Chain A
């Protein structure tokens, strides 16, 4: 069974919570006492139907305010796949939460109200999906019940979206007409839309091909920690523990260790369950090399003929996550793979209006939830790939040295 991680974004009224509730309910992933609790709450609120959106309610403050303010993770499984949903709020002031949810997703669910078509929020969610390089997007045209299940209206929304999405960099976009409230085409095929020949939402989630989402070409192994058992059986053992971030490593491969530049050969690939012949993303393994060279956390094992760029000046798309904007000439800790350096923002090139995708060049003051293209200068070189090439070796975060908070997320541009 494979694991599919997807993200959703939406506001209170576009039916996102109802859709998730519907997926959980119709796929029978809800326990009896949860259903009972939701039925009781619905009654208390004086609702006639069972409000499935209550299933995804989170913390106390949010229940009181009726809004989702953070990323909440939900889980369900069908006989075909296990799913992790990163459920995020859709309002512009929660861009940082959407970016967080999108960072680990293979797929984005975007909801459009069939009556309204593409609105500002649709653009925003789609832009974030594209910026974070989520490989697959499913556009759910929701509330079809409110447009008399009209094929014409669905086609209109699809055309409108396609026109807009031409500006984005998303490889795989699919459309499903649904009614989350009534369950049409969510888990069960709709009898109200015989004109729709495609798959239901759940079927698409179960079968969409995600096997090629990892980078299997560029070998990248960031070293997390060095394993030295210091016992008689493994007296001289020195293993480099880490998670493969790209490519396929095999025993006997000639490799290069960066930044030192020493080369060696892979002698063993170890795991608790026994040695492996090869390792690929996202495996956690321990690599042993033929030569005794000095390697520590933050170093990267790569192939000689395929190396990341080594640079102290990099351009990134930066999403600011903190209430406190960047301090002019402020220094930050930069975390990238298992490496840590200090950095400063050398230049803000432009900001992006995430509703229209227009560049803003006359206002370069970065505030929370804004996305901008910046040039960073680091104290030591980074071993970096572009984010479009590898989401693991192309991403970074900035940490404020005085508060220790994670203040920004960056995606490296070539």
Chain B
């Protein structure tokens, strides 16, 4: 369990360092698979957790990376050239986030059993948010979003030991729809502006 938490944080840490879109999607795939593993280990024997784990594998480690890789293949020569904060600085920031979150969770929820899981998932959420803020490439922003979503899912899992299945299905569907829309938008962005750098969207403001 703790190993998985560390590995998850490491994957998020890695995401702050990559420039190439394909590697980012691959890291994301591994990360989602780890989330599914956490889900399966946490709920050993429970049918409903098993369903959730399988769904995570199918949607987050299967469909979403597949869709992202497909669009990435059409975006040749696209990479994060000029992030708002460079790789070194964002790694430091991610480390700072991890330290801060562990400190906060240690202070607020010292007696909770799975506090390390809570802290890891919160750190994942904030690293995801930071990725969205600091990267200009649309695909990397989507990767940040999914990282955040993974963190939220883990948070739900570690605090409640499984939400009702209907709500989980809703969340999965939500993510799937969001990612499909984002992928389509990214493709459109490429077609209209010959680039998937989201800072050009600033021009939309009147």
Do A and B interact?
A: no
Q: Which B residues contact A (CB, under 8 angstroms)?
A: none
Q: Which A residues contact B (CB, under 8 angstroms)?
A: none
